[in-house]
Structure 1
C-alpha cells in the first residue's frame, strides 16, 4: 500500500495498555498485594489510577497503605511494592497485544515514522521492548521520568514532536487511558484510543477508537 494512503507522517505509541496489556496485570497485582496485607483497596480506587504517571503511582502506593492504617513514606511504600513485584513478576512477552510487532513493521514499510512516549521509567520501557522483540523498532523512545510532570501533562508529547521535527497535525498517537488521551489532545495530536472497557473510564475525548492495534493501518 502506498505511503500516501496513510494520513500521518508519524505514529506515537503509548506503551502500557497499547503495546502490552499491563494495565490489568498491575491492577490485579496491586489488588493481591493489599489484600494479602489485610488492607484491600477498592476496585474503584485502583481503576481511577489506571494510566497514571509513575510519580502519581508512587504517591498512590503510600496513600493506599495509609488508607489501610499503615503510614509509609513514598520511598518506603515503593520498596514494599518492589519486594512484592519481585515475587510476582510480569511476563511482558505474554502480555504483548496482538499484532503490535507486525503493525509497527507495516507502518515503517509505508514510510511512516514510529515513536514511543510512555509514562513508565526508561529502564522498564527498554526491558519491555527487549522481551517483546521491539528493541530498536522505534525511532524515538521517551519516558515520563524525563519531565517534571508526565501525562496528563502534554509535555512528553510536545517534546516528542519537537524531537521528530513534526507539527502535531502531521502525527497521531495511540493511547488507552484518560491521562494519555488528555495529554495527546492537549498537545494537539489526533488521538486514537485502543478500546478499553474493563475499568469504567470514558474514551470519548479520543478522535478515533479502535478495537486492536492493527486497526490503525485502516485510518
Structure 2
C-alpha cells in the first residue's frame, strides 16, 4: 500500500493509511443533499397540504428509503390522498419533484473528488453504501463526475431494511472480501452511524450540526471529507 505523505517538523514523513477500504455514505457526505431535501419537504408540505412538521423533517435526515416511503404514506393520508401503498405515495412525491431541478454538481461537498483520488493513489479501495435508490445514486455520481470512482456501489433498496440495519454494510464487506476491522465508513446521520457500528466498522462522521442530532456514536468526527486523509 502506498504511503500517505504528511509534513512533520518541516520533514516529509510517510504515514500509511490505516484501512484497506473506505465505505462512503452518499447523502450528507459526498453531496450536501440532506439540507436540500430538508428544505424541499417544507415546500412540498405547503403546496400539497401535508402538514409535515419540523420534527418530522428532521427525522428524515439519513432515513432509509423504506422508512421514507412509510413517512410519505402517513403524510399522504394526512393530506387527504387516502390509504396508499409506499410506491403510490412515492409517486406523488416524484411527480411533485419532477419539475424541480436538483443541482447535484453544485451540492458536491468540498474535497470529495480529491480525497477519493488520493485514496485510489494509496491503493485503498473505495466503496459506496447508500440508503438511496440505485437510480438516484447513479444520477448523483454522474452529475458530480464520480461515476467510475466507487466499487462496489450498494443501494439500500437491495435489502428488506436499510440503515440503521447493518445489512447494507455487511453485504458491502462481503463484496469487498474484507473484514470489518480492515475498513472504515464515512457517515453523517444517526441512522448511518448506528449501521456502521453494528457492522463492526470504524465509523468516521462528517460533522453535521444543522439538524439537532448527536454524532456521539461515531469513533471520530471530521470537519471536512478531506480530513479523512489525516486519520491515523
The number of residue pairs the alignment matches comes to: 219
Task: Write out per-residue CA displacement over residues 4-28 of structure 1, whole angstroms, 9 at most, x where no aligned residue.
Answer: 5211111000001100011111111
1:41 aligns with 2:52: yes
2:187 to 168, 175, 200: 175
What residue number does 1:2 align with? 3
Any stretches of 5+ residues in structure 2 without a counterpart? 5-14
What residue number does 2:9 align with? none
Alignment of 1:113-128 (within 5 A): 113-128=125-140
Cα distance change on mapping 1:91 and 1:72 into 2, 3 Å: farther
Task: Write out per-residue CA displacement over residues 89-121 of structure 1, whole angstroms, 9 at most, x where no aligned residue.
Answer: 211001100110000000111111100000111
Task: Tell me the TM-score normalized by structure 1.
Answer: 0.96
Alpha-carbon deviation of 1:206?
0.3
Distance 2:79 2:150 in 1: 41
Q: 1:36 is paired with a residue of what secondary structure? A: helix
Q: 2:214 is paired with a residue of what secondary structure? A: coil
Distance 2:170 2:87 in 1: 30
Alpha-carbon deviation of 1:81?
0.6
CA radius of gyration, larger in: 2
1:153 aligns with 2:154: no
Q: 2:173, 2:179 within 8 Å by CA — same for their partners in 1?
A: yes
What residue number does 2:61 align with? 50
Alignment of 1:72-151 (within 5 A): 72-73=83-84, 74-151=86-163
Q: 1:121, 1:143 within 8 Å by CA — same for their partners in 2?
A: yes
Distance 1:61 1:200 in 2: 22
Q: Which moved more, 1:62-71 or 1:172-181?
A: 62-71
Q: 2:51, 2:78 within 8 Å by CA — same for their partners in 1?
A: no
Q: 1:29, 1:88 within 8 Å by CA — same for their partners in 2?
A: no
Alpha-carbon deviation of 1:69?
4.3
Task: Tell me the TM-score normalized by structure 2.
Answer: 0.91
Q: 2:98 is paired with a residue of what secondary structure? A: helix
Task: Write out per-residue CA displacement over residues 182-206 of structure 1, whole angstroms, 9 at most, x where no aligned residue.
Answer: 0000000000000111111110000
Any stretches of 5+ residues in structure 1 without a counterpart? none
Task: Write out per-residue CA displacement over residues 6-52 of structure 1, whole angstroms, 9 at most, x where no aligned residue.
Answer: 11111000001100011111111111001112333111111012111
Distance 1:209 1:102 in 2: 19
1:209 aligns with 2:221: yes
Q: 1:14, 1:173 within 8 Å by CA — same for their partners in 2?
A: yes
Q: 1:176, 1:196 within 8 Å by CA — same for their partners in 2?
A: yes
Cα distance change on mapping 1:8 and 1:77 into 2, 3 Å: same
Alpha-carbon deviation of 1:164?
0.6
